[in-house]
Amino acid sequence: MPARKIRGLYAVLCLLTATSLAAQTSEEPDPSQLARDFYNGYLDSLPDPRKQQRALLEQNLLKSLKRILPKEDPFDGRQVADGLQVSDLAFARVQRTDPFVRGILKELPHLKEEEFMYIVRFGSYMAFLCYRADPMKFRVDETPNYMLIKKKPASDGEKEQSTEDHQKNQAQ
């Protein structure tokens, strides 16, 4: 019988504690809890700056490519530029420390190093674009330092020849 009384008292004590805690929260909310909830709600309602920066960068790259394409490819450039969309772009910011970028700048001396350099791939084209200001923060135009490359589809004879040349070079 004493064990039964202890369990009963323990159950009543737990019930009273839970009821008093519920009464406190409904009558007097904890000020620090309210402040924390408000602050977290405020932070959740803010727009993500990385998404805005990426969207601005994509707009700048797209605008630059639509301006460059007709000048650099007078035959197909206008049609490609008109159909070009942000979803068609694959791009990356490149740095001077990259060995391939150093090779590009060495082989193409008319391209000058800028702080903001991007390589963009879309369709059968690739572009090397430079900006003086950060295109993730500002609406900017590209500098005259750009290069557009159109990949030429290889014919079957050229594919066979390049494969044979590659195999000869590896054998040596």
Q: What are phi and psi of 78, to 5 degrees?
A: -65, -45
Which pLDDT value is given to residue 120? 94
pLDDT tens by residue, 116-127: 999 999 989 999
- Number of domains forming the structure of the chain: 1
Residues 9-65: pLDDT tens digits?
555 555 556 555 555 555 677 888 889 999 999 888 888 888 999 999 999 999 999
What is the span of the domain harbouring residue 66?
49-155
What's the rounded Cα separation, in Å, for the pair 8 and 88? 70
Q: Which residue has the higher pLDDT, 15 or 143?
A: 143
Q: Is residue 161 part of a domain?
A: no
Establish if 78 belongs to a structural domain: yes
